[in-house]
Amino acid sequence: MVRTTITALGQRGEGIAEVGGQRVYVPFTLPGEAVEISVEGERGALLSILSPSPDRIDPFCPYFGTCGGCALQHVAPTAYAAFKHGLLVTALSHAGIDVAVGELVDARGNGRRRVTLHARAAGAGYMRARSHDLLAIEACPILVPALQKTAPQIARALHAAVGDSDIGFTATATGLDVTVRNGRKLKPQKLVPMAQNLKLARLALNGELVLQAQPPSVRMGKALIELPIGSFLQATEAAEEVLASLVLAGLKGAKNVADLFCGVGPFALRIAESARVLAADSDKPAVAALANAVKHTMGLKPVTTLSRDLFRDPLAPAELAPFDAVVFDPPRPGAEAQARELARSKIKTVVAISCEPRTFARDAAILTAGGYRLQSVTPVDQFAYSTHVELVGVFRR
């Protein structure tokens, strides 16, 4: 046991202490707190708080501190916002980019509409903090009401039929979309009665459709889009709306826009209400779903879809020439190859969305070296109580 004082909060939301001349990372602690900890290498475990920080609040979830899902429920709102804001400031600073970062926008809404639970013989839930051991839960309060208790219940019921699995849930306008992944060879048709009894909109097993009572659908602007199995969706409905409003503000006046890494079209479908759009992504089912939504939506400008791996084959300057503006929203690794092509282009406006400040900062440095100015950058909080932050950056030539 060691008595020490927490001096800072690290990027993973862990308190940092100096013990014996080396840094020790202690989860669930805050700067300024005097604590008792056990130490193993650079990892510390909190035993007791001798002097709590004024920024400490009571967590609302009974599993906090044991569950590995949330790291920051104990942080008061002002300090919480400052921490997430700081993640982006630090990433940009390390990349040599000097820009005023906007205030954190709260986009948690009524909770996350997507979750993956681990189903085991002991129950269903998340992994314990810093462990691969299951923490079985009865409910998760950071999910939308339709998932809070229902997702663990359904996961437990499915485990009885399919064994140890990872089970993904998406709450849609037409019901729950459930995907089961495990390593067993199972006959999907055996799960049809269970899917019917659970009243699921859709059930898929290892990517194969088991039953679809009705297509899982979500509204994006004027369009209603049917989600492909396993498709990406922003974690909260509120975040999608916030991100889209920031994108549209950055594109104001543009008449011909390329939406790269478009997914199922959360931005493309909204942009198309006022501008022509090229929507490109390597995810063929997502691009097909977007094209189908366009076909059935009135009042949109022309939308052209393109299935293309933008990591290996980014749009070149000659292909970008017809556009007034480009939007890109890549996965966590960022859009380095496409950023290099944009830096060589004459596009006037680039709007970048990212869920990883460090890869955004890398791509931003490429664009600024190519003559762009990062006009604004706004952090968005949809990953409640985690150490992740979404953001939107607007670049101009």
Per-residue pLDDT tens digits for 156-207: 999 999 999 999 999 999 999 999 999 877 888 889 999 999 999 999 999 9
Domain extents in the chain: 2-56, 82-108+233-396, 114-217
Cβ contact 44:22 at 8 Å: no
The single-letter code of the amino acid at 73 is Q
Mean pLDDT along residues 280-307:
98
- Domain 82-108+233-396, CATH class in plain words: alpha beta
Residue 131's pLDDT is what?
87
Question: Hey, what's the torsion of the CAs at 76, 81, 83, 86, to 10 degrees?
Answer: -160
- Domain 114-217, CATH class in plain words: mainly beta
Residue 187's pLDDT is what?
80
**Helix/strand/coil percent split, the chain, to 5:** 25, 35, 40
Cβ contact 126:118 at 8 Å: yes
Dist. CA 310–CA 322, nearest whole Å: 18
pTM of the model: 0.95
Q: For domain 2-56, give the fold.
A: OB fold (Dihydrolipoamide Acetyltransferase, E2P) (2.40.50)
| Catalytic site positions | 355
Residue 195's pLDDT is what?
92
Residue 189's pLDDT is what?
82
Q: How far is CA 299 from CA 80, 219, 249, 263, 386, in A?
A: 41, 15, 20, 21, 39
Mean pLDDT along residues 220-227:
97
Residue 152's pLDDT is what?
98
Q: Tell me if domain 2-56 and domain 114-217 are identical in fold.
A: yes
DSSP lists the bridge partners of residue 204 as 179, 209
